[in-house]
Structure 1
Amino acid sequence: MAEPLSQRVSIPVRHFDRIIDVALATLTVVGVITGVAAAEVRITWTGTIPFALFLGALLLVRRRWPMTVLLLSIAAIFIYRLTSDFEGGWIWPLSVAYFTAAATPRVRWVVAIGAAQLIYSAVDFWPVLNRSIGRFIVHLAGEALLLAVLIAAGVAYAVLLRWRERLREADGRARVAEERLRVSREVHDIVAHTLAVVGVHLNVAADTLEEAPDEAAEALRLAQNIRNRAMADLASLISVLREGPDDNAPQPGLASLHELVADARAAGLDVVLDEHGDPSAVPAAPAVAIYRIVQEALTNTLRHSGATKAEVTIDYRPRSITVEIVDDGRGDHDVAEGYGLAGMRERVSALGGVLTAEPTSGGFTVKADIPVAGSPA
């Protein structure tokens, strides 16, 4: 049995398909009756009307059984021609049936059936050859041309459906790849920040374990708290991977900045957070980006620069946000474009902004300008 033209469609699409099928069935009934009348054959309730209604009714199941509909339609026209005076064409009453069957993988069978019907049509129309060769040739050429057009249209429609399906699959793969990239950036930011801060606390604990055990114990408790928060963040990301991108867990935002700064201060870095404007009006996507930029910048400061002080300045404006992190570390060291810096650039670029990261006199500066207008909430 041939596959239906459309297998996995939504309810609105299926409803639209039913409307199309009913419309084609109605047009077929009207067209057959009109064609028979145009051929000057008497319309009867025992011949023409049942024949037209049967062809139309078959089209209501054409998507499920396209080859069966075609064969039954051909059988119906054979019976009608044998029991009536109708001498019109063999192909046009079956136009929709041929088109539908040609859109299935069994298009070769459709061509073979159509060719056989054309041969029989030539034999049936043979007596006309003695009276008018031109009429005979025009009749067969017209039948053959119509059959070719119907089969070509069906094949083109099937190709279009496959092309659209490939586009949907490619779009799905792109979304999956984008989600994986986003999750990888989140994992990098969480792990890098946690290792940097926990590493500082562990060093403090190791240095003060014998001389100041209370201070060492406090450093270990802070390291444990930071580790627990990181594990919670990673658990939420893992749930995203398991459940899919449509079930994203809440991501850290501007409300978590003070906690982030507190972690850096507990690690021994003097951090000043200076915010201007109203952070409550910032959409979710830029808010997450700001949090991750500050997190990555402070992580790099703790791990690489040897800085003792950092200043985080965030300017919330109606149409854009400026984030600037300046430290007093070694500003003359080489900057390597690692995963963290690349991730920051990707985040800002995805939102239509610009990020710069460069040494300055007496330190290092990371600055991001992020537009707000049009950002998803």
Structure 2
Amino acid sequence: MVSPFPRHAPAAVRHSAWLVDLAFAVLTVVGVTTGALAAGVRGPWNGLIPLALFLGALLMFRRRWPLTVLLLSIAAIFLYRATSVFEGGWIWPASVAYVSAACTPRVRWVALIGAAQLVYATVDFWWVLERNAGRFLIHIVGEGLLLAILIAAGTGYATAMSWRERLRETDGRARAAEERLRAAREVHDIVAHTLAVVGVQLNVASDTLKEAPDEAAAALRVAKDVRNRAMADLTSLIGVLRDSTAPQPDLAALGTLIEDARAAGLQVTLDQRGDPATIPAAQAVAVYRIVQEALTNTLKHAGAAKAEVTIERRPSSITVEVEDDGRGCAEITESHGLAGMRERVNALGGTLTVDSKPGGFSIRADLPVAGSHV
């Protein structure tokens, strides 16, 4: 069991806790005084009010020394009972102290202390048994039931706080895992696209180095430019991990992406329908990454000569589709890139459709836009 009374907390939390303790202190002073007077105590200044004030003052330290506060409260009650004729009860004046101590890992000691106090109360009240057995049973059973309720309330509160803390930690770990997965997808998209384009350009340079050195040099320049942009994207991604305000690629960067694919020998056409400026940032990043992954797969695996990219902004959704004229495949096996693409689409509540046939390969994503009235 974890104690719900941390010693190190923000100033606002400490201030709030102090007010709660003060409220409990005032409630104890008023409750003990009122209860004792209702039970027939006369001359409250002879011991009752000092007892109530002492019990209330102790509660201001219940978070730091809960068990000590409980023991001192019980000792004060014993002292008062020993010097007065008050028969109003043993447990209830220390109710808040019992609950506070039961919130700590030492709840067994609290139960033992309460049981000892209850046994002493039974012995102290034993003389009533011969005169009025019903009154004796009501008094002792009531004290025992109250003690059980107070300890249960403390342990229940501590358990609830412990579960709350565990849920908070679990939620934090889940967010961290999601962030790592997102970073992995981003890195994969950047690296895979860069390697695909650079690989094509290096092959061109290797094949034309002797016969057409100018063409080889141009291919190397394209490879260098793509590599530089990839490094810039990775730097931006690292900035995102450090600072969520760092920029992400969006539809404005699609032109460069398509130019890279064209430089690698792929004839790419881009058809944008609707106003791309109305596409939200999260969907824009997803569209960019989907197109990037689709063109990367086309360059690496399809053996295609042409690819068509269509982005359509509908009133409540966005559709992005990439089709090529490659060889396709009989059975689609989702690689890390396709799996990451599907996860990205699912995270936005959309659907991803992948289709392969001898005449080409196509990827279509439909992304909803919540609350859109375009």
Question: Which digits, 9 at most, give the CA deviation of each residue in 1:334-374, with x for residues without a partner?
Answer: 43211111111111111111111112563221111111115
* Whole-angstrom distance in 1 between the partners of 2:244 and 2:322: 32
- How far apart are residue 172 of structure 1 and its match? 1.2
C-alpha RMSD of the superposition: 2.1
Q: Are 1:252 and 2:244 counterparts?
A: no
- How far apart are residue 103 of structure 1 and its match? 1.1
- Which letter does structure 1 place at the counterpart of 2:317? S
* Whole-angstrom distance in 1 between the partners of 2:237 and 2:307: 29
CA contact (8 A) 1:33 1:43 kept: no
Q: Are 1:160 and 2:160 counterparts?
A: yes
- How far apart are residue 13 of structure 1 and its match? 4.6
The correspondence of residues 262-301 of structure 1 with structure 2, limited to 5 A, is 262-301=259-298
* Whole-angstrom distance in 2 between the partners of 1:322 and 1:30: 68
The correspondence of residues 48-87 of structure 1 with structure 2, limited to 5 A, is 48-87=48-87
Q: Between 298-307 and 15-24, report the one with greater CA deviation.
A: 15-24
* Whole-angstrom distance in 2 between the partners of 1:13 and 1:43: 40
Question: Which digits, 9 at most, give the CA deviation of each residue in 1:111-136, with x for residues without a partner?
Answer: 11111111221222233234223322
Q: Are 1:356 and 2:353 counterparts?
A: yes
The correspondence of residues 98-247 of structure 1 with structure 2, limited to 5 A, is 98-239=98-239, 243=242, 247=244
- Which letter does structure 2 place at the counterpart of 1:78? F
* Whole-angstrom distance in 2 between the partners of 1:137 and 1:45: 31
Question: Which digits, 9 at most, give the CA deviation of each residue in 1:269-309, with x for residues without a partner?
Answer: 11111111111121111111100000001001111111111
Match of 2:317 in 1: 320
Question: Which digits, 9 at most, give the CA deviation of each residue in 1:74-108, with x for residues without a partner?
Answer: 12112222233322100000111001101110011
CA contact (8 A) 2:25 2:57 kept: yes
* Whole-angstrom distance in 2 between the partners of 1:74 and 1:4: 22
Q: Between 355-364 and 335-344, report the one with greater CA deviation.
A: 355-364
- Which letter does structure 2 place at the counterpart of 1:32? V
* Whole-angstrom distance in 1 between the partners of 2:161 and 2:20: 16
* Whole-angstrom distance in 1 between the partners of 2:163 and 2:293: 42
Match of 1:304 in 2: 301
* Count of residue pairs brought into register by the alignment: 371
Structure 1 residue ranges (4+ consecutive) displaced by more than 6 angstroms after TM superposition: none
Match of 1:28 in 2: 28
* Whole-angstrom distance in 2 between the partners of 1:332 and 1:151: 68
* Whole-angstrom distance in 1 between the partners of 2:251 and 2:238: 22
- Which letter does structure 2 place at the counterpart of 1:84? S
Q: Which runs of 5+ in 1 are unaligned?
A: none
* Whole-angstrom distance in 2 between the partners of 1:228 and 1:150: 67
* Whole-angstrom distance in 1 between the partners of 2:113 and 2:330: 78
Q: Between 310-319 and 130-139, report the one with greater CA deviation.
A: 130-139
CA contact (8 A) 2:326 2:358 kept: no
- How far apart are residue 27 of structure 1 and its match? 1.5
* Whole-angstrom distance in 2 between the partners of 1:8 and 1:330: 64
Q: Percent identity?
A: 69
* Whole-angstrom distance in 2 between the partners of 1:313 and 1:236: 27
Q: Which runs of 5+ in 2 are unaligned?
A: none
CA contact (8 A) 2:327 2:357 kept: no
CA contact (8 A) 1:358 1:365 kept: yes
- Which letter does structure 1 place at the counterpart of 2:34? T
